[in-house]
Structures are given as structure tokens and as C-alpha cells.
A and B are shown apart, each in its own frame.
Chain A
Amino acid sequence: MTEVKMLREAFGKALVEYGSEYPNLVVLDADISASLKTGEFAKKFPERHFNFGVAEQNMIMSAAGLATTGLIPLACTYATFSTMRACEQIRSMICYPKLNVKIIATHGGIEVGWDGPTHQATEDIAMMRSIPNMTVVVPADATAVKPLLRQAIELDGPVYFRMGRNPVPVIYNNQQRFTLGEAIKIRKSGKVLLVAAGIMVSTALETAEMLADEGIECGILDMHTIKPLDGAALLDFTKSSDLVVTLEDHNIIGGLGGAVAEWLSENNPKPLIRIGVRDIFTESGDPKELFKKYSMDSQYAFTTITKFFN
């Protein structure tokens, strides 16, 4: 059986290590430190951890203030709360002056499941992606978290780092190299190019296996950095493709699907299918059942792609 791990647990572990390595790292929470797994960091570096309570605007704006004193604040909460409750602080007070603040979000997408649409961030990537100076990172598995987090910390400027809630399949081993802004070429290019981000990378892998059995070869790009988008990888991989399919746990408007659609229409027009949340609010439920009901599982991707070629 495939090994599954929570990204936020990997984040919590990496944080403790980076706390020693980067003495100017400060971690901010908004009453959900247990969810964000920042507890170990808080225990080890209490003078560099602050719980702001349920007051996200103050947390995000204080992060801006902290950054002006030379510290690197990581402001941690759910994706809906940071990007929506504190959107203006992120846009006008962090991104506009290009302050060195990292917005660490979990509970991105409908994979949040049971908590329902109020807690399922399905617009966050679109919002963060449209703000100048912002880098948007969506790691696909627990292995990707640590190296991408290090690069996010070392990048001088705002970063939106988006993770999910649940354990997801481990895709990468420790030898895998990760570079911000460079998509990972998981499968060689084929007739179909699957471009995926976050937990949908494992869905893309499943889909590619199913399609291979039908004789349809798929390339896969893990677009862990949605902004800046890796145009070079897209150029390389779309050469041999008749169809591009994006897979994301986010509204198909404005996120990865939107970004790839923009890139394709400007650089290399190809037929495109966007798999993701179809501009609706979903509902509470088991994530697996939600992905099936809302046409976001590998079976749906497989059927849609085979239909395209028939």
C-alpha cells in the first residue's frame, strides 16, 4: 500500500530544524497551532513564537512589522483565513512593499472535507497569484515540504505556501531535487500532458497509469510553484502533446488551470481540460467521496481524457 503522510506534519518537523538554522525565523499562530503543527517550534523557541488568538488581520499585519526589523515571520493559519480575512494586509501591506513574510496555509481545497465550504479554500491560489511580488508554492507531498520551505525562507519576499489537511500519498524519495519555480518532470512527455499541483499530483499519477493501460502516454509536470509559472517546462512538454489537462484542488478559475490556460493561449495554443472545483461551493463529507462527486478523481480524469480521443 502507498505510504501516506500529512504535509503539515512535515512542515512542523522542518520548522524545528530551521528554527535552529535561521535565528531570525519567527512563527506566528492564530489559535490553530495544533492544526499547523507548530507546537514543537513553540516549545523549543518560545521567544520566537507568538499566538495571536483568533485575530488573523493583526497576525498578518504584525508579521509585516516584524519583517521591517529584519526577522522572517511565518504567519500560520488555514488558507481561507489568511488569504481572505487578511487579504488586504497581504496585498497592500506585505506584497506592495515586498516584505519578507511567509504566509503558511493549511486546509487548502475541498480535501478539507468534513468542515465544509467555509473552511475549504478554493479561491486562495487565484487571489494570491494575482498579487504582484507574491510567490505561490503548493507542495505535492510530505517530502516536498522541507526543501521548498527552506527555499521559501531564503527567498527575500512574500511567499504563499499552501498545504492540505489530510495525509496524502508520498510521491518523492529523499533524493528528489526541488527548485522553486521549476516544475518537476515526473513522467516523460506524451500525447497528453497532465499538469498538476498539490495533492492532485498523485491523482495525475493514477490517471497516467490508467491511461497507459489504454495505450495513451501522458507526461506529468508537478507545478509546485504556481507563480512564477515554469514556462520553459511547459514549452518543452507541450511540444509533443495533443491535449493538456490541469488537475488542482481549487476552483478551475484563476488557479493552476487559469495559469496554464493563460500560458497556453499566449505561447502554444493546445486543447485544454481543467479538472478542479467547477466554480461552485461543494459540501461537507469524506474527501474521497467529494472528489468523486465533484469530478475531481482519477476515474473522472481517465474517462474525460479517453473521451477526448474517441
Chain B
Amino acid sequence: MGYSSELIKDLKEKSNLIRQESIRMTCSAASGHPGGSLSEADILSALYFHVMTIDPQNPKLINRDRLLVSKGHACPGWYAALALRGYFPVEELSTFRQINSRLQGHPDMRKTPGVEMTAGPLGNGLSGGVGIALGAQIQSLDFHTFVLIGEGDFQEGCLWEAAMFAGFHKLRKLTCIFDHNDSQVDGPSHEILDVSPIKEKWRAFNWEVCEIDGHDMTQILDAFAWAKKPHEKPTIILAHTIKGKGVSFMEGQAEWHGKAPNCEQAEQALKELQEAIQ
């Protein structure tokens, strides 16, 4: 599908800003999870700045589209996207993980505007999305529910309970996005517990699958346009991504899953990111 070059440029710029804020937040908190925040940034940018029907001024609108970030540790990216979209001031991002902050180390739906579901313990987001999709069905509400998952979610058994249920009940307004960066705390996922074959697994659970480069904005928008079309089944977007995307020394390095950059590293990372949008 054709998208204007302004749109693509704008969304890429937003993902770049999400990445910059993720670096600033984890650096200033001296903790948190930059790697996955950087890999999911393009997906978040597309969802919050183009795909989802939302109103940050009315975050509880009954018919809003929902995004649940099941990989809750990657909340620097989520918080950055929410702040940039106007759910709360960008300046507040500097309070991440600090006492009295609305921005907890893992997302708390009661504290942070725009956070649809508390997250952190992996594998739960898809079930939360199933419940929300059922809630929409029961009350004849017309909105789309998106759930972003990572390798850790993929390895949890309860995710497959949800996948089986959603497939069986044909929850067609439920879309899962797999931020497949092939990396987790202890190293590359294909060495720890390989998740492949991916497409075959989801098809076997009665889902429709689409595979993309999770950093190609046109492909991302195409995938969401496909997901929003009427389907007979729930849909999953298998997005191939790179952990730490956009920062040379973080890319593909599992050690950046839950390690914060120090000041020097953050400065280097921000320099690289800023240069990329100049």
C-alpha cells in the first residue's frame, strides 16, 4: 500500500524519539530494560501515531483501541510512546523507577495513563487481551485489541492457553504482535529455548499469520492494515526485530536486555540516534 513519505518520515522520527527517551530513562534510573524498548519502538510508533483509534485526553473512552504490552519490562519504550502521544508530560519520563513516580519499574495500570493492563510477569498479556476482546463482544463494543509479546511471553505456557482459546473462539478483533528479537536475559533465544517454528505454531492454534521486518515502517503499516481488515480468526504479526535497534553497541547484544547504559554510553547512544534523523 502507498503511504506518503511525510507519514513514514514522521513515524520513523517518533520511533527514534521513543528510542532516545528509552535511553535517557534507563540511564537516569540506572536500571531498566533498554534492549527490548529499542526493538519494539517502530511498532509502538505505528500503533500510537497512526493505527490505533485513541484519544490521550480521554484515555478511558469505552470504544478506544487497546494495546497491552505483555513484555512489561520493555516499559521505557511504552512510557516514551505514551508521553510523546500526550498521555502525560514527556518531562515525567525522568521519574521512571523513582519513588513517588507514576512510572513503575513494570507497568501499573492504576498509575500510568494509557497503560491498559498491569504487566511484568510474562505470558499474561494475551489472556488479558482475550478478556478485553470478550468484553467487547459481550457489550457489542467495536474496537481492536492489540497485544505486544516477546520471547519470554512466547515461552510461558499460559500464552498458549490464551492462543488456543482465541483461535477456538475466533476472536477476530484481537491482534498479537511478536517482537521477535531472538534475545532474552540469558542470551540468544535460539540457544536457550528456541521458539521456532513460529508461523506453524500459530497457524496450528487457528490464527492468521503475517511476517514482516519489524523495523520497516511500510511493512509495519501494511501489517496493521491487514490485521484491521475483517478476518475469521485472530491475527498475529510476526515482526523480526533487533534487540537494541538503533544503537550500534547494543544491537543484537542480549546483555542489553536489562542493563542500563552509563552516562558515557547513553551520550554515545543518543548521538547515534540523533544523527540518524538529521
Contact = CB atoms under 8 A, between A and B. Distances in A.
Interface in A124-175: none
Contact of A97 (B109, B123, B161, B169): B109
Interface in B63-114: 108-110
Given A58-B127, A92-B118, A96-B118, A65 B135 contact: yes
Interface string A57-93: 1100111111111110100000000000000110011
B162 interface: yes
Interface stretch (B136-144, B178-186, B249-257): B136-144
Given A61-B128, A62-B127, A64-B128, A69 B165 contact: no
A68 B132 contact: yes
Among A62, A64, A93, A98: residue with most chain B CB under 10 A: A62
A10 to B, nearest CB: 26
A52 B166 CA distance: 10
B130 interface: yes
A186 to B, nearest CB: 39
A236 interface: no
B121 A65 contact: no
Contact of B131 (A66, A96, A98): A66
B165 A66 contact: no
A191 to B, nearest CB: 48
Contacts of A92: 118, 120-121
A53 B138 CA distance: 19
Interface string A12-47: 000000000000001000000000000000000001
Nearest to A57: B158
Contacts of A61: 124, 127-128, 130-131, 158, 162
Interface residues of A, number: 28
**Interface of B, helix, strand, loop or mixed by DSSP:** helix
B149 to A, nearest CB: 13
A58 B129 CA distance: 10
Contacts of B38: none
Interface string B151-171: 000000110011011000100
A52 B138 contact: no
A89 B136 CA distance: 21
Nearest to B123: A57
A225 B108 CA distance: 28
A55 interface: yes
A89 B124 contact: yes
A53 B116 CA distance: 26
B63 to A, nearest CB: 11
B158 A93 contact: no
B57 to A, nearest CB: 20
A50 interface: yes
A58 B127 CA distance: 5
Contacts of A26: 134, 138
A62 B130 contact: yes
List of 5 A-B pairs having minimum Cβ-Cβ separation, nearest first: A65-B131, A69-B135, A61-B127, A58-B161, A62-B131
Given A62-B130, A69-B132, 16 more contacts: A26-B134, A26-B138, A48-B138, A61-B158, A62-B165, A64-B128, A65-B128, A66-B138, A68-B132, A70-B135, A71-B135, A88-B124, A89-B124, A92-B121, A96-B118, A98-B110
Interface of B: 62, 108-110, 116-118, 120-121, 123-124, 127-136, 138-139, 141, 157-158, 161-162, 164-165, 169
